[in-house]
């Protein structure tokens, strides 16, 4: 078992100079372009007092996360399950990490920093015309930025049509949740769930 950094470094070489120097403390023009093309990111937050970490997917039209300037991002909060895991974590611990994906592009962009939850009109109205106005916006103060190389997505063949898994390979989401809850309620069919979600998204867009 590996328990120290010294042990770990006996297995792995030191990072190459390029891997260290590629880290920035701001969003340059290249990074801002990637974010403007990205319709999907994963947000990681930390709970208080050693609580488990949380990673949450966020999506929207490309550029749904807005770059205010080189040091600030705005992430609109869309309707979800109202558990508020990420938002609650940020109230306790402002550290945040984001990983941006662009469909068809194997490189990803990682942004680390701290966050505040903003509900002032000047933040909310930045998203007027984009979608249904968010109830709040996550304002991210950028501290570390770097590009991940393509190898992970190349290995996974994430964008390869031949690697796509048929949805029928899994039970429906509602079948899984009902089983996990031990419920005897007849689960909603997958097609009905998809139609319901599509209608909710359409309603969000229509509320602009």
Residue pLDDT, tens place only, 86-127? 999 999 999 999 999 999 999 999 999 999 999 999 999 999
pLDDT reading at 173 higher than 70 = yes
179, containing H or E segment: helix 173-181
The answer on 113 and 21 residing in a single domain is yes
90 close to 45: Cβ distance less than 8 angstroms:
yes
Percent of the chain with pLDDT over 70: 98
The answer on 152 and 180 residing in a single domain is no
Q: How many domains does the chain have?
A: 2
- How far is 116 from 55, CA to CA, in rounded Å? 17
pLDDT tens figures, 48-78: 777 889 999 999 999 999 999 999 999 999 8
The answer on 91 and 174 residing in a single domain is no
The answer on 131 and 81 residing in a single domain is yes
Domain boundary residue, one of 117, 138, 156: 156
- Residue 34 has φ and ψ, to the nearest 5°, of -60, -45
Q: Is the dihedral of CA 174, 201, 90, 44 positive or negative?
A: positive
pLDDT reading at 203 higher than 80 = no
The answer on 89 and 188 residing in a single domain is no
Q: Which residues contact 132 (CB under 8 A, 6 or more apart)?
A: 79, 203, 204, 205, 207, 208
- How far is 68 from 128, CA to CA, in rounded Å? 15
Least confident range of 100-109, 112-121, 157-166, 187-196: 187-196
189 close to 173: Cβ distance less than 8 angstroms:
no
Strand partners of residue 58:
41
In this prediction, residue 208 carries a pLDDT of: 52
User: What CATH number does residue 119 fall under?
Assistant: 2.30.110.10
pLDDT reading at 132 higher than 90 = no
The answer on 140 and 120 residing in a single domain is yes
Across 139-161, average pLDDT? 96
The answer on 119 and 174 residing in a single domain is no
The answer on 108 and 69 residing in a single domain is yes
pLDDT reading at 200 higher than 90 = no
Q: Which residues contact 196 (CB under 8 A, 6 or more apart)?
A: 188
Q: Supply the range of the domain harboring residue 142.
A: 5-156
90, containing H or E segment: helix 85-92
In this prediction, residue 9 carries a pLDDT of: 94
pLDDT reading at 85 higher than 70 = yes
Per-residue confidence band for 188, with pLDDT thresholds at 50, 70 and 90: confident
Q: Which residues contact 120 (CB under 8 A, 6 or more apart)?
A: none
154 close to 106: Cβ distance less than 8 angstroms:
yes
41 close to 58: Cβ distance less than 8 angstroms:
yes
Domain boundary residue, one of 156, 174, 193: 156
In the β-sheet with 108-118, what is the strand arrangement from edge to edge? Answer: 54-59, 40-45, 95-101, 108-118, 137-148, 72-76, 66-69
The answer on 169 and 145 residing in a single domain is no
The answer on 97 and 28 residing in a single domain is yes
pLDDT reading at 24 higher than 80 = yes
Residue, of 32 and 191, whose pLDDT is higher = 32
The answer on 107 and 11 residing in a single domain is yes
Domain boundary residue, one of 137, 156, 175: 156
35 close to 73: Cβ distance less than 8 angstroms:
yes
Best CA proximity match to 149, nearest among 121, 107, 92, 198: 107
The answer on 184 and 91 residing in a single domain is no
């Amino acid at each position: 078992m590996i328990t120290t950094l010294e042990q770990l470094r006996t297995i792995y070489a030191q990072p190459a100079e390029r891997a260290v120097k590629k880290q920035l403390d701001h969003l340059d023009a290249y990074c801002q372009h990637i974010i403007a093309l990205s319709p999907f990111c994963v947000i990681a937050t930390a709970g208080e007092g050693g609580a488990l970490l949380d990673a949450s997917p966020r999506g929207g039209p490309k550029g749904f996360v807005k770059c205010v300037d080189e040091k600030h991002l705005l992430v609109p909060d869309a309707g979800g399950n109202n558990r508020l895991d990420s938002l609650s974590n940020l109230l306790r611990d402002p550290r945040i990490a984001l990983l941006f994906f662009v469909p068809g592009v194997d490189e990803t962009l990682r942004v680390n920093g701290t966050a505040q939850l903003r509900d002032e009109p000047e933040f909310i109205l930045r998203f007027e015309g984009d979608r249904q106005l968010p109830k709040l916006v996550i304002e991210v103060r950028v501290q570390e930025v770097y590009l991940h190389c393509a190898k992970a997505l190349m290995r996974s063949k994430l964008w390869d049509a031949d690697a796509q898994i048929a949805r029928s390979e899994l039970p429906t989401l509602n079948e899984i949740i009902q089983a996990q809850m031990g419920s005897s309620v007849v689960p909603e069919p997958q097609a009905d769930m998809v139609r319901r979600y599509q209608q909710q998204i359409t309603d969000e867009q229509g509320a602009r």
